[in-house]
């Protein structure tokens, strides 16, 4: 294997490593365990608000840190080092979740928020490293491959943990509570082990000879706002990634509040992971045939349909269909947005520009959950939390249409 291919595989394996957190902790077991173990005695609307506020608070911290850390990463060629640092924070906090007792919802949400800060911050630098591992013209394929491998890895560890929780005695564990806590530890171990190849095989380009500082960070922000294509892309991205992130984070809680059994929710999440693996690869191929922008439109159109249809959903079978559609398009929208943006930015500025990219992504992740919390608390109607997301997908797609076709990477 050539050094270039080895670097690409090592970069992708880091997504394999940390997607276990995204599936098992962020989307699946933490929302369920919070509702049924840590927040026992708390009504459903309040526990949903706890979850939304924990997600929103963590995203706020990441949002505030991202641009500055991106500038530091570029100035000192520190993207990999910062990725490892924040991964370590996420790994340790995920492990700590296993040691929080029943009814301790405050400790659980705080530790969960810390683990989320570690996860999302590390992912910001993983995004930025795409310019160090992709060749000219293959950014779409490499980005899609990273998401595909991530979904596959996340699906495998999630399947292992689902079996662990459903059949604890088969693994020598006394009950499902202990099994869930062991699952949190398994995610941390998975994350730590599979990010080792990146440490060994991914190498950053040297920093610029005249590295910028705060003035350069300010200048980058001004360039982002003055460039019509960058401005339209980032605002559009902010809108549709906000809606997608909110849908991903709140879907399990949404299904639980509609009365769907836990095993059905877990099956839906498994469906999402294993559908997402080939679908992300397909979107990389589709972008090569039709163009990156058109491929993103396909994904956004499907998400508009899901958002509207969710309001009228009543059966578990309908929830499975919704999960399948999301699984088919989520990796494509995320990976192609990343490679599309990589083409818009100047060489040697990936950390800084992706800092702003993730700033907007996390601002979206702050806004969406807070809106969900407000809507649910004010209306006591869980269905209203997803239906309005259709508007964000539509406006985001329209803004994307106004972006000039980017340069080849």
Give the pLDDT band (50/70/90) at residue 368: low
Mean per-residue pLDDT over the chain, rounded: 83
What percent of the chain lies above the pLDDT cut of 90?
Answer: 29
Q: How far apart are CA 398 and CA 73, in angstroms?
A: 33
Q: How far apart are CA 250 and CA 246, in angstroms?
A: 6
Give the pLDDT confidence score for residue 362 in this predicted structure.
59
**292 close to 140: Cβ distance less than 8 angstroms:** yes
**238 close to 364: Cβ distance less than 8 angstroms:** yes
Give the pLDDT band (50/70/90) at residue 186: very high
According to DSSP, residue 213 is labeled: -
Q: How far apart are CA 143 and CA 281, in angstroms?
A: 9
Give the pLDDT band (50/70/90) at residue 44: low
Give the pLDDT band (50/70/90) at residue 134: confident
Give the pLDDT confidence score for residue 406 in this predicted structure.
59
Give the pLDDT confidence score for residue 58 in this predicted structure.
85
Task: For residue range 79-103, list pLDDT tens digits in order.
Answer: 899 999 999 999 999 999 999 998 8
Give the pLDDT band (50/70/90) at residue 197: very high
Contacts of 136 (CB under 8 A, 6+ apart): 408, 409
* pLDDT beyond 60 at 9: yes
Q: What is the mean pLDDT of residues 149-156?
A: 90
Q: How far apart are CA 341 and CA 356, in angstroms?
A: 11
Which has the higher per-residue pLDDT, 407 or 384?
Answer: 384
What pTM value is reported for the model?
0.77
Give the pLDDT confidence score for residue 182 in this predicted structure.
97
For residue 345, give the 3-state DSSP assignment: coil
Q: How far apart are CA 397 and CA 392, in angstroms?
A: 8
Give the pLDDT band (50/70/90) at residue 151: confident
The answer for 212, left when phi > 0, alpha when psi is -120 to 50, beta otherwise, is beta
What percent of the chain lies above the pLDDT cut of 70?
Answer: 86
* pLDDT beyond 60 at 408: no
Give the pLDDT band (50/70/90) at residue 17: very high
* pLDDT beyond 60 at 214: no
Choose the weakest-confidence range: 29-43, 291-305, 319-333: 29-43
Residue owning tokens 């079978």? 317
Q: How far apart are CA 29 and CA 158, in angstroms?
A: 10
* pLDDT beyond 80 at 221: no
Give the pLDDT confidence score for residue 295 in this predicted structure.
94
* pLDDT beyond 80 at 262: no
Which has the higher per-residue pLDDT, 377 or 240?
Answer: 240
Q: What angle do CA 98, 102, 106 make, to 5 degrees?
A: 85
Can you read off the two tokens belonging to residue 64? 């505030």
Can you read off the two tokens belonging to residue 357? 């990219």
Q: How far apart are CA 307 and CA 72, in angstroms?
A: 38
Q: What angle do CA 45, 46, 49 make, to 5 degrees?
A: 90
**367 close to 55: Cβ distance less than 8 angstroms:** no
**402 close to 293: Cβ distance less than 8 angstroms:** no
* pLDDT beyond 60 at 275: yes
Which has the higher per-residue pLDDT, 240 or 311?
Answer: 240
Domain boundaries, the chain: 3-199+213-400
Instruction: Decide yes or no: CATH 1.20.1250.20 for domain 3-199+213-400.
Output: yes
64-102 burial, b for 16+ CB within 10 Å, e for fewer? ebbbebbbbbbbebbbbebbbbbbebbbebbbbbbebee
Closest by alpha carbon to 329, among 302, 307, 304, 310? 302
Alpha helices for 136-261 (secondary structure H): 139-166, 176-194, 196-201, 214-226, 228-257
Sign of CA pseudo-dihedral 38, 44, 45, 51: positive
CA dihedral angle for residue 240, residue 270, residue 290, residue 361, rounded to 10 degrees: 30
* pLDDT beyond 70 at 195: yes
**343 close to 407: Cβ distance less than 8 angstroms:** yes
């Amino acid at each position: 294997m050539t050094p270039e291919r080895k670097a690409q595989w090592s970069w992708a394996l880091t997504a394999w490593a940390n997607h276990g957190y995204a599936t098992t902790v962020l989307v699946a077991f933490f929302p369920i365990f919070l509702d049924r173990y840590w927040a026992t005695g708390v009504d459903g609307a309040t526990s949903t608000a706890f979850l939304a506020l924990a997600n929103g608070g963590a995203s706020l911290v990441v949002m505030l840190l991202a641009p500055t850390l991106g500038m530091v990463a570029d100035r000192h060629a520190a993207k990999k080092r910062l990725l490892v640092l924040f991964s370590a924070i996420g790994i340790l906090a995920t492990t700590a979740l296993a040691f929080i007792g029943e009814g301790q919802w405050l400790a659980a949400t705080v530790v969960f928020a810390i683990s989320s800060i570690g996860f999302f911050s590390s992912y910001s630098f993983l995004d930025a490293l795409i310019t160090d591992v992709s060749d000219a013209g293959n950014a779409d394929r490499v980005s899609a491959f990273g998401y595909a491998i991530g979904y596959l890895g996340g699906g495998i560890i999630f399947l292992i943990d689902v079996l662990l929780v459903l059949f604890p005695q088969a693994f020598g564990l006394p009950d499902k509570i202990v099994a869930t806590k062991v699952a949190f530890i398994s995610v941390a171990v998975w994350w730590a082990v599979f990010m080792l190849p990146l440490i060994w095989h991914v190498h950053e380009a040297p920093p610029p000879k005249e590295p910028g500082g705060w003035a350069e960070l300010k200048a980058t922000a001004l360039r982002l706002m003055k460039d019509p294509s960058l401005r339209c892309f980032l605002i559009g991205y902010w809108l549709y990634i906000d809606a997608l992130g909110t849908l991903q984070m709140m879907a399990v809680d949404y299904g639980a509040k509609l009365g769907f059994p836990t095993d059905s929710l877990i099956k839906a999440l498994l469906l999402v992971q294993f559908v997402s693996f080939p679908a992300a690869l397909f979107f990389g191929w589709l972008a090569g045939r039709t163009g990156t922008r058109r491929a993103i439109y396909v994904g956004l159109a499907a998400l508009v349909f899901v958002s509207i249809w969710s309001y009228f959903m009543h059966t578990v079978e309908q929830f499975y269909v919704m999960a399948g559609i999301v699984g088919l398009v989520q990796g494509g929208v995320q990976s192609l947005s990343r490679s599309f943006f990589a083409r818009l930015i100047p060489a040697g500025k990936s950390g800084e520009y992706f800092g702003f990219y993730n700033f907007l992504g996390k601002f979206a992740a702050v806004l969406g959950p807070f809106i969900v919390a407000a809507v649910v608390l004010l209306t006591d109607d869980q269905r209203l939390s997803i239906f309005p997301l259709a508007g964000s997908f539509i406006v985001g797609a329209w803004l994307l249409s106004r972006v000039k076709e980017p340069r080849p990477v």
